[in-house]
């Protein structure tokens, strides 16, 4: 897919999921580098810069997209000729995609160790990382039952129940407002992530924080399943992540409510570290309070010594 097609597909959510949108961006940059038929390094760099800006602007909340783009473009510079830049971008993008797919698999294996035979699990939205844990636990023969929330307004929960049913998992769909009631029967919660900040704050599909609140009140462990490229290096200095607000047509049809009614459709929310038991990454489980150290190590950031 071209850069423009990819940005459009991410914007209209025909490509969705924080991991998938990051891989889609890397794949589009791979194709751009592969297909460039000029011999002007400056022109090539400008094209890559424009592509970076278009892709990053397509969805603001998931830092995975930004990290996937920056990883694909790392190491290129004015001192390179076209062939060197082309090779660098294609190798980086290919590596990001392969590592990202492997990371989801590894998270499934590590997270499944936490799942006990007989567990009742709740999950929210449609997270390939969280479902990797659930499907792996099931594949290991653990007898589990899953409650999946519908996840208004886009209803990604219907994708989740289809995927789990296809895997043979015992899954029940519930409406989002049933979370607190059903949580009384739940042993563990597994959700995905769009962004984790240095403060251990989770930005994920709207409604996640309500699962965390209900789980915390009922002492149900709340686990976040996420690849390391969903941690935000920019958050070392500030916790603010832009929460995407999408069109009102996702909530009501034309004419369903009086025109003077305002409609607000934020599609992510924030869950503070205090409600998170463990963040399960492909590098192992970490406390949300270790997110800053994790980011510094993973992104090779040299913190100035005060």
Q: Where does this chain bind ligand RI2 (CB under 6 A)?
A: 16-19, 125-129, 156, 191-194, 204-205, 267
Which of 194, 225, 269, 293 is catalytic? The answer is: 194
Q: For every residue of 79-101, which 3-state class applies, written as one string?
A: CCCHHHHHHHHHHHHHHHHHHHH
Q: Is 50 a catalytic residue?
A: no
Give whichever of 29 and 225 is closer to ligand RI2, judged by the CB atom: 225
Query: C-beta of 128: minimal distance to ligand RI2 in Å?
Result: 3
The residue among 58 and 128 lying less far from ligand RI2, judged by its C-beta, is 128
Question: Which residue's CB is nearer to ligand RI2, number 70 or number 129?
Answer: 129
The CB density around residue 77, as the number of other CB atoms within 10 Å, is 10
CA distance 208 to 222: 10
What angle separates helix 128-139 from helix 157-166, to the nearest 10 degrees? 20
CB of 248 to ligand RI2, least distance (A): 17
Distances in whole angstroms, Cα of residue 96 to Cα of each of 61, 84, 93, 172, 221: 20, 18, 5, 34, 31
Helix axes 41-56, 3-11, angle to 10 degrees: 10
Q: What is the dihedral of CA 293, 299, 300, 301, to 10 degrees?
A: -70
The Cα–Cα gap between 68 and 117 comes to 36
Judged by beta carbon, residue 197 or residue 204, the one nearer ligand RI2 is 204
Closer residue to ligand RI2, CB minimum distance, 72 or 127: 127
The Cα–Cα gap between 304 and 280 comes to: 28
Question: Is the bond into 153 cis (omega within 30 degrees of 0)?
Answer: yes
Nearest approach, Cβ of residue 129 and ligand RI2 (Å)? 4
Neighbours of 47 (CB within 10 A): 16
225 is catalytic: no
Least distance to ligand RI2, CB of residue 75, Å: 25
Smallest distance from the beta carbon of 205 to ligand RI2, in angstroms? 3
Parallel, antiparallel, or unpaired for β 284-286 and 278-281? Answer: antiparallel
Please tell me whether the peptide bond between 234 and the residue prior to it is cis, using omega within 30 degrees of 0. Answer: no
At closest approach, how far in Å is the CB of 34 from ligand RI2? 25
Say whether 298 sits in a helix, a strand or coil.
Answer: helix
Active-site pick, 39, 50, 119, 125: 125
> Please, which residue, 194 or 277, has the CB nearer to ligand RI2?
194
Q: Could you give the residue numbers annotated as active site?
A: 125, 194
């Amino acid at each position: 897919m071209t850069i423009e097609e990819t940005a459009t597909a991410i914007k209209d959510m025909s490509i969705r999921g924080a991991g998938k949108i990051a891989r889609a961006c890397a794949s589009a940059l791979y194709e751009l580098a592969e297909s460039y038929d000029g011999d002007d390094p400056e022109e090539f760099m400008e094209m890559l810069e424009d592509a970076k800006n278009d892709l990053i602007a397509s969805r603001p909340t998931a830092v995975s997209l930004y990290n996937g783009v920056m990883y694909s473009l790392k190491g290129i510079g004015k001192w390179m000729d076209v062939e060197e830049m082309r090779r660098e971008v294609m190798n980086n993008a290919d590596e990001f995609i392969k590592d990202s797919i492997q990371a989801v698999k590894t998270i499934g294996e590590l997270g499944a160790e936490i799942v006990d035979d007989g567990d009742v699990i709740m999950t929210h939205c449609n997270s390939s990382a969280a479902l990797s844990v659930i499907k792996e636990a099931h594949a290991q023969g653990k007898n589990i039952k899953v409650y999946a929330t519908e996840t208004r307004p886009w209803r990604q929960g219907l994708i989740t129940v289809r995927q789990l049913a296809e895997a043979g998992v015992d899954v029940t769909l519930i409406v989002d407002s049933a979370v607190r009631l059903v949580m009384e029967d739940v042993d563990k919660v597994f959700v995905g992530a769009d962004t984790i900040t240095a403060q251990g704050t989770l930005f994920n599909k709207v409604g996640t924080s309500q699962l965390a609140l209900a789980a915390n009140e009922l002492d149900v462990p709340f686990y976040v399943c996420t690849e390391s490229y969903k941690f935000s290096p920019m958050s070392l200095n500030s916790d603010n992540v832009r929460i995407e607000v999408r069109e009102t047509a996702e909530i009501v049809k034309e004419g369903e409510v009086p025109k003077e009614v305002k409609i607000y459709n934020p599609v992510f929310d924030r869950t503070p570290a205090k409600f998170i038991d463990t963040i399960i990454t492909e590098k192992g489980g970490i406390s949300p309070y270790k997110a800053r150290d994790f980011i510094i190590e993973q992104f090779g950031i040299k913190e100035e010594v005060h």
